[in-house]
A and B are shown apart, each in its own frame.
Chain A
């Protein structure tokens, strides 16, 4: 594993709202408003960048749109070291 050099605090871009001009399959752009739910089935996925831990690689920022062109499963969960 490469050496992990990393500060205590490292900003990541979080939600990337510039994707506003992106269109859904129906050709209609979705409104992009910070903090409001934007995920809709049939519409383009809201893009984001987040800091990540990757086994064998260490810490790195991951941007969702870097996986464009592939099938993606994005799973949220409540917390590490919890029970289910």
Chain B
């Protein structure tokens, strides 16, 4: 897929290093391979709309940014529930397919499944092509 992952919290880069060495490297062999960024003071989280002022932390915000530097998708969760990486991968593959073909992907689309090509001929006939 060729995706660059960046992780960010309000922790310092020093804490990131310790977390990697003390815990993450025991979950993932060699530790997580992506940069762990420090959002000092939550200023970056604030402009991304995911900084919790009262708690002083960035909540679970996830952004897919395309090669033109345009945000394609965002997902924001309160901290208690973890994310679903399968859905992230699905969305990235769908956006990459759309970028490559100009087709659009219906609900729940997985690679290899039917896509749609918007246009006058498709109006009222989606049911003939897409069988959920």
Contacts and interface: CB of A to CB of B under 8 A. Distances in A.
B108 interface: no
B70 A44 contact: yes
B49 A39 contact: yes
B97 interface: no
Contact of B35 (A6, A25, A52): A52
Task: Assign chain B's interface to a size class.
Answer: 35 or more
Task: Assign chain A's interface to a size class.
Answer: 35 or more
Given A36-B47, A65-B69, 13 more contacts: A39-B49, A39-B63, A39-B71, A45-B65, A45-B71, A50-B8, A50-B39, A55-B30, A71-B3, A73-B92, A76-B39, A76-B50, A76-B60
19 contacts: A6-B13, A38-B48, A39-B71, A43-B71, A50-B38, A51-B38, A53-B35, A64-B6, A71-B4, A71-B67, A71-B95, A73-B5, A74-B48, A75-B7, A76-B58, A78-B59, A79-B9, A84-B80, A84-B82
